[in-house]
């Protein structure tokens, strides 16, 4: 049986060598074959037999021939199998038995092998192998370029700047970083257009003063002079003089604000447009020039009290606090740097206490949520807000210009004078400290707003605020009016009508001889004082712009209303004395007593009270919203005290007259006196009591009663003392007849004159 390759039996492997070595009768040994060579051939044959019996595929016969189809990166095993080189593998494994198979490179740098080269190193795969290299910016301590595994890793940072292995432009400075480097503009230089700072390719140019021109459409010589000064600073600017330029600029702003000149006469929108332009331009200029200021921080206080605080850092982290006496600011340095992180990071705050003149009468826009909270707290709608600037105007500028939604938020502590009257407001008004910012409008104007800012608390002369954006901030004292505007309409209409009636009453008391006596003299003085008080109240009560003028108005109102109550007291006293002396035929004793007493008391006592009040606390005349007495330190009792005393005396007098009227019901005059005393007490006494009752749920209703009745005091006086008096009505009738007769005589005279004139003309055909 023929043997199949690879499947030889044991007998073949043993017998074949024996048959081959034994001589046959047909073949004789070559005569030249020596015995040594024969022994060598026998040994070779035995080795081949042993190799074939070792179990390797194909046996020795097959190994003598290779498979012609072995793929690349493999080695032939026998005629039917190949083996891939180390670092290569096929889909079927290391041994290939199919001509369609191939040996592909094994990537040792990827899973599942993923050779680890260690820290700051990268694995590099090659055909059949791999090697490790240090990451860019790192190198081996030995200076070699490659290594095999993590145990050979000695990679460390390479300082490209000291070794000059960097392409930074000569307008920049090389800054080494861990594993790399960056090119930063030199101090006083800025990146060219199209370049960014702190990049490997940064190219810079010398810094220039930013362009700052006057606001368009604003005609002001004072403002033009300021911008001429700015242009002069711009022409003379060099990066080396940045600190001096900043100081000169702040002093120029102070000079403009200290004496605004024709800026104060601008229309309100133009004035606020100017403020917006000044604040935004000043922030931009200071943000630019601060990068050229030497040192890590800079503070400056001008002679006019303006304060500047700057912090400049290359690589900052954590919180930073800056500011001086007017305000202090706490912010995270990451907020100041922003996302770009280009160049040195600047954070600054400029506190200017001299902007009140330009910001006067600016509107305040309350946050809707805040307004709803206040209305819920006070249980009434807020009909108007008036404010007063307490702190300096603090402008914040950072390298980061995207400051609309900051996280974390920025915290401020603003210093300001202790708010007068805080917590002790007059009825109908609430005072609150508000953290507000100046919000520029699309048309260039601006106003105060509160959106995105919260008042955390206020202690003595400091208020702490927190904001989620940056701008120009200040603390405002806001007065929230809780009064219905309809009450103002009623007040103006009622007082106007009262002024007319008081004028008619005064003319009646002065010209009607039939009723002229001591009583009418008292009522005349009462009418004159009330007329002047109501007229001043109507025209000057809210003139709070000038503090001294407002204090004078408040003092005049204090005096006139006290005089009105004093004359009411004298009128009541006269009624009381008249009632006691009804049995006396002549009232001359009462008249003489009142004539001697009424003028010194009627005008002297109120003057003494006002003089004492003004001498003790002149600063308490005039409030932020009204020219009237302040309520703190009990100062308002300089008015309420005498009023309550007069009211009590008159109540007792009316009670006495009422009892007298009951006991002498047959006397019509006694009843008339009682009616007049009661009406007078109601007109000038009970109406003011309604003002004290404006508390609790019924406050709104009482406010309407108080306003309606009090504003019609003049109408009531004219009705009681003139229209209800028979003598006055008769006198009015006489005056009316006299007027009609005068008018008729005038018409008759005019007609007669015309007739005579026509008769004197020549007749013409």
Answer yes or no: is pLDDT of 694 > 90. no
Answer yes or no: is pLDDT of 608 > 90. yes
Answer yes or no: is pLDDT of 515 > 90. no
Answer yes or no: is pLDDT of 599 > 60. yes
Check if the beta carbon of residue 307 is closer than 8 Å to that of residue 298.
no
Distance between CA atoms of residues 613 and 624, nearest Å: 19
Calculated CA dihedral for residues 389, 394, 400, 401, nearest 10 degrees: 50
Answer yes or no: is pLDDT of 584 > 70. no
Check if the beta carbon of residue 149 is closer than 8 Å to that of residue 117.
yes
Q: What is the mean pLDDT of residues 15-26?
A: 36
The larger pLDDT score, comparing residue 109 to residue 427, is at 109
Average per-residue pLDDT for the chain: 79
pLDDT for 590: 57
pLDDT for 710: 75
Query: pLDDT, tens digit, for every residue of 458-489?
Result: 887 899 999 999 989 888 877 665 556 677 78
**pLDDT > 70: percent of the chain:** 74
pLDDT for 1: 36
Q: Any idea what DSSP says for residue 407?
A: S
Q: Under DSSP, is residue 463 helix (H, G, I), strand (E, B) or coil?
A: strand
Displacement of CA 504 from its chain's centroid (Å): 55
Query: pLDDT, tens digit, for every residue of 443-466?
Result: 888 999 999 998 898 887 899 999
Check if the beta carbon of residue 292 is closer than 8 Å to that of residue 189.
no
Distance between CA atoms of residues 151 and 119, nearest Å: 11
pLDDT for 178: 86
The larger pLDDT score, comparing residue 315 to residue 79, is at 79
Q: What is the mean pLDDT of residues 163-187?
A: 86
Answer yes or no: is pLDDT of 357 > 70. yes
Answer yes or no: is pLDDT of 185 > 60. yes
Distance between CA atoms of residues 105 and 83, nearest Å: 14
Angle between helices 547-580 and 637-663 (to 10 degrees): 20
SS3 content of the chain, % helix, strand, coil (to 5): 45, 20, 35
pLDDT for 6: 37
Angstrom CA distances, 491 to 100, 426, 436, 535, 706, stand at 108, 18, 33, 12, 10
Answer yes or no: is pLDDT of 370 > 90. no
Phi, psi torsion values for 322, nearest 5 degrees? -145, 155
Q: Under DSSP, is residue 754 helix (H, G, I), strand (E, B) or coil?
A: helix
**What region, left, alpha or beta, does residue 442 occupy, with left being phi > 0 and alpha being psi -120 to 50 degrees?**
alpha
pLDDT for 153: 93
Q: Which of 553, 563, 564, 562 is nearest to 498 (CA)?
A: 564
The larger pLDDT score, comparing residue 689 to residue 203, is at 203
Secondary structure (DSSP) of 307-327:
EEEEEEESS--SEEEEE-SSE
Q: Which residues of 164-174 are buried (b: 16+ CB within 10 A; e: fewer)?
A: eebebeebbbb
Answer yes or no: is pLDDT of 229 > 90. yes
Answer yes or no: is pLDDT of 680 > 70. no
Answer yes or no: is pLDDT of 753 > 80. no
Distance between CA atoms of residues 504 and 508, nearest Å: 6
User: What is the residue whose two structure tokens read 């935004």?
Assistant: 280
Check if the beta carbon of residue 401 is closer than 8 Å to that of residue 340.
no
Distance between CA atoms of residues 308 and 396, nearest Å: 10
pLDDT for 223: 94
Angle between helices 221-235 and 242-258 (to 10 degrees): 170
The larger pLDDT score, comparing residue 690 to residue 47, is at 690
Q: What is the mean pLDDT of residues 579-587?
A: 51
Angstrom CA distances, 242 to 247, 308, 653, stand at 9, 14, 81
Residues in the chain: 765
498 contacts: CB under 8 Å, gap ≥ 6: 530, 534, 711, 712, 713, 714, 715
Answer yes or no: is pLDDT of 396 > 80. yes
**pLDDT > 90: percent of the chain:** 27
Query: pLDDT, tens digit, for every residue of 127-144?
Result: 888 999 999 889 999 889
Distance between CA atoms of residues 271 and 260, nearest Å: 11
102 contacts: CB under 8 Å, gap ≥ 6: 71, 72, 90
Q: Which long-range contacts (CB under 8 A, 24 or more apart) does 121-127 make?
A: 121/147, 121/150, 121/153, 121/155, 127/73, 127/87
Query: What HEC string does 37-102 produce?
Result: HHHHHHHHHHHHHHHHCCCCCCHHHHHCCCCCCCCCCEEEEECCEEEECCCEEECCECEECCCCCC
Q: Which of 198-202, 324-328, 372-376 has the lowest mean pLDDT?
A: 372-376
pLDDT for 664: 46
Distance between CA atoms of residues 446 and 276, nearest Å: 6
Check if the beta carbon of residue 249 is closer than 8 Å to that of residue 257.
no
pLDDT category of residue 652 using cuts at 50, 70 and 90: low
pLDDT category of residue 697 using cuts at 50, 70 and 90: low
Query: pLDDT, tens digit, for every residue of 735-748?
Result: 888 888 877 766 66
Token pair listed for 729: 């009505």
Q: What is the mean pLDDT of residues 342-352?
A: 85
Check if the beta carbon of residue 729 is closer than 8 Å to that of residue 514.
no
The larger pLDDT score, comparing residue 687 to residue 695, is at 687
Phi, psi torsion values for 184, nearest 5 degrees? -110, 140
Cα diameter, the chain: 202
Q: Under DSSP, is residue 24 helix (H, G, I), strand (E, B) or coil?
A: coil
pLDDT for 95: 86
pLDDT for 742: 77
Distance between CA atoms of residues 681 and 144, nearest Å: 111
Q: Radius of gyration over alpha carbons of the chain, in Å?
A: 54
pLDDT for 51: 46
Query: pLDDT, tens digit, for every residue of 77-118?
Result: 888 899 999 888 888 888 888 888 999 998 889 887 778 899
């Amino acid at each position: 049986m023929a043997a199949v390759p690879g499947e030889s039996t044991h007998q073949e492997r043993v017998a074949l060598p024996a048959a081959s070595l034994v001589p046959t009768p047909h073949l004789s040994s070559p005569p030249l074959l020596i015995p040594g060579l024969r022994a060598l051939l026998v040994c070779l044959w035995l080795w081949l037999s042993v190799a074939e019996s070792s179990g390797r595929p194909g046996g020795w016969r097959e190994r003598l021939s290779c498979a012609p189809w072995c793929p690349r990166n493999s080695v032939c095993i026998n005629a039917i199998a190949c083996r891939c080189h180390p670092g290569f593998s096929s889909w079927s494994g290391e041994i290939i038995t199919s001509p369609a198979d191939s040996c592909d490179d094994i990537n040792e740098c990827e899973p599942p092998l993923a050779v680890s080269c260690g820290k700051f190193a990268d694995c590099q795969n090659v055909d059949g192998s791999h090697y490790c290299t240090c990451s860019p910016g790192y190198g081996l301590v030995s200076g070699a370029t490659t290594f095999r595994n993590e145990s050979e890793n000695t990679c460390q940072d390479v300082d490209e700047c000291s070794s000059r292995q960097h392409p930074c432009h000569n307008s920049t400075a090389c800054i080494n970083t861990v594993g790399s480097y960056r090119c930063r503009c030199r101090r006083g230089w800025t990146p060219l257009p199209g370049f960014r700072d702190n990049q490997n390719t940064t190219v810079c140019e010398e810094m220039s003063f930013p362009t700052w021109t006057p606001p368009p459409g604003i005609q002001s010589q004072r403002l033009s002079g300021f911008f001429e000064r700015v242009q002069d600073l711009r022409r003379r600017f060099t990066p080396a003089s940045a600190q001096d330029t900043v100081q000169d600029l702040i002093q120029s702003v102070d000079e403009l604000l200290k004496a605004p000149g024709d800026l104060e006469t601008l229309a309100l929108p133009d004035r606020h447009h100017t403020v917006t332009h000044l604040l935004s331009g000043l922030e931009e200029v200071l943000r630019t020039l601060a990068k050229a200021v030497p040192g890590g921080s800079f503070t400056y206080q001008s002679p006019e009290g303006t304060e500047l605080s700057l912090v400049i850092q290359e690589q900052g982290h954590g919180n930073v606090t800056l500011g001086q006496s007017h305000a202090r600011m706490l912010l995270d340095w990451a907020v100041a740097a922003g996302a770009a992180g280009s160049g040195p990071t600047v954070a600054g705050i400029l506190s200017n206490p001299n902007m009140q003149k330009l910001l006067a009468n600016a509107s305040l826009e309350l946050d809707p949520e805040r307004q709803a909270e206040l209305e819920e707290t006070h249980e009434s709608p807020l009909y108007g807000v008036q404010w007063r600037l307490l702190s300096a105007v603090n402008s914040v500028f950072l390298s980061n210009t995207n400051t609309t939604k900051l996280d974390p938020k920025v915290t401020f502590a603003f210093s300001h004078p202790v708010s007068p009257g805080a917590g002790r407001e007059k009825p109908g008004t609430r005072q609150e400290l508000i953290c507000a910012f100046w919000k520029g409008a699309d048309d260039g104007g601006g106003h105060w707003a509160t959106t995105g800012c919260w008042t955390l608390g206020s202690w003595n002369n400091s208020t702490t605020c927190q904001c989620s954006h940056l701008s120009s901030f200040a603390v405002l004292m806001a007065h929230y009016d809780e009064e219905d505007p309809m009450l103002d309409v009623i007040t103006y209409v009622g007082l106007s009508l009262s002024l007319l009636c008081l004028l008619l009453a005064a003319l009646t008391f002065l010209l009607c001889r039939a009723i002229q006596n001591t009583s009418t003299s008292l009522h005349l003085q009462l009418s004159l004082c009330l007329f002047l008080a109501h007229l001043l109240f109507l025209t000057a009560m809210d003139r709070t712009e000038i503090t001294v003028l407002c204090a004078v108005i408040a003092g005049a109102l204090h005096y006139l209303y006290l005089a009105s109550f004093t004359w009411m007291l004298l009128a009541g006293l006269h009624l009381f004395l008249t009632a006691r002396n009804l049995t006396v035929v002549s009232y001359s004793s009462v008249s003489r007593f009142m004539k001697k007493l009424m003028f010194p008391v009627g005008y002297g006592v109120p003057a003494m009270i006002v003089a004492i009040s003004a001498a003790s606390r002149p600063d308490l005349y005039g409030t932020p919203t009204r020219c009237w007495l302040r309520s703190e330190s009990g100062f308002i009792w300089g008015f309420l005290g005498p009023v309550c005393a007069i009211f009590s005396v008159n109540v007792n007098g009316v009670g006495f007259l009422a009892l007298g009227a009951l006991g002498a019901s047959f006397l019509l005059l006694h009843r008339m006196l009682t009616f007049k005393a009661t009406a007078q007490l109601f007109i000038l006494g009970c109406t003011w009591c309604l003002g004290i009752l404006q508390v609790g749920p019924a406050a709104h209703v009482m406010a309407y009663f108080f306003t309606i009745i009090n504003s019609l005091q003049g109408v009531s006086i004219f009705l009681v003392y003139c229209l209800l008096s028979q003598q006055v009505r008769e006198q009015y009738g006489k005056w009316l007849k006299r007027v009609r007769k005068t008018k008729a005589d005038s018409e008759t005279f005019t007609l007669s004159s015309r007739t005579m004139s026509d008769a004197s003309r020549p007749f013409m055909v």
